[in-house]
């Protein structure tokens, strides 16, 4: 997977790209990230990338010219490139969208700033708009970082175990079950004895039940799109009759 990130603050990415899952993926050659400074494509002595909006109003708008020229400078993967603008008006990112985007060989991510970008950028340069949530950020850089990590986790070889990404929260539309590790007792709280039993089938059923229970309690909206098995539906019926059960 190749990511090209267009931003006026390339320095924000220098540390992020050296650590964690994405940093290891880059070291392995599974992911390639290039950060493009939009200011390098601005004209004039001051390299201005924004201006006042036509029609008046508060704030500044990113100019179309520098973004357009920056996009033209990016070498494209033939037929396998998708250009996305990080924008609060875009589709809200979820795991299904992440899988959809992971099918491209190259993603070009345009990071908006200020009051947004000139509408003509949206109309002539952008394939889609993406948002990471219904809240306000100063720009699209953090959104681009989130997007790159979410997608990179889906690339074969990036995670240690082949099934690691399939067992994450949201992958099946459910929240993940509680996790425990050593010591066996912490602050007076013990690890559930069943997890120490060695009975893999009972452990599997306990984890699935806890996953469903946690989703019902914290994110019941997810159940509308979750891939539920007949066993899941039986567990949910039992939880509705006995909410404290597990």
Is 176 in a helix, a strand, or coil? coil
- 40 is a catalytic site residue: no
Cis peptide bond upstream of 183, omega within 30: yes
Q: What gap in Å lies between CA 164 and CA 179, rounded to an integer?
A: 14
- 220 is a catalytic site residue: no
- Among residues 94, 100, 129, 168, which one is catalytic? 168
Half-sphere CA count of 159, side-chain side, radius 13 A:
15
Q: Which residues contact 95 (CB under 8 A, 6 or more apart)?
A: 150, 170, 171, 173
- 119 is a catalytic site residue: no
End-to-end CA distance of the chain: 41
Strands 128-131 and 81-92: parallel
- Among residues 40, 115, 149, 176, which one is catalytic? 115
- Among residues 4, 66, 88, 118, which one is catalytic? 88
- 53 is a catalytic site residue: no
Active site residues: 88, 115, 153, 168
């Amino acid at each position: 997977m190749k990511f090209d990130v267009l931003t006026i603050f390339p320095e924000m990415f220098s540390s992020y790209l050296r650590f964690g899952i994405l940093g290891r993926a880059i070291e392995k050659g599974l992911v390639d990230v290039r950060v493009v400074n939009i200011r390098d494509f601005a004209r004039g002595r001051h390299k201005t990338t924004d201006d006042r909006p036509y029609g008046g109003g508060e704030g500044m708008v990113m100019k179309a010219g520098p973004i357009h020229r920056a996009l033209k400078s990016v070498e494209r993967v033939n037929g396998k490139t998708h250009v996305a603008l990080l924008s609060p008006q875009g589709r809200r990112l979820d795991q299904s969208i992440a899988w959809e985007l992971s099918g491209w060989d190259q993603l070009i991510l345009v990071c908006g700033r200020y009051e947004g970008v000139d509408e003509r950028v949206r109309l002539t340069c952008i394939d889609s708009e993406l948002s990471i949530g219904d809240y306000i950020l100063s720009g699209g850089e953090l959104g681009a970082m989130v997007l790159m990590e979410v997608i990179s986790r889906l690339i074969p070889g990036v995670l240690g175990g082949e099934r690691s990404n399939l067992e994450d929260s949201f992958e099946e539309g459910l929240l993940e079950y509680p996790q425990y590790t050593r010591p066996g007792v912490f602050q007076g709280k013990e690890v559930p004895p069943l997890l120490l039993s060695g009975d893999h089938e009972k452990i599997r059923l306990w984890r699935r039940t806890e996953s469903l229970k946690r989703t019902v309690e914290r994110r019941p909206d997810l159940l509308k799109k979750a891939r539920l098995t007949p066993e899941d539906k039986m567990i949910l019926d039992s939880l509705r009759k006995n909410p404290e059960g597990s």
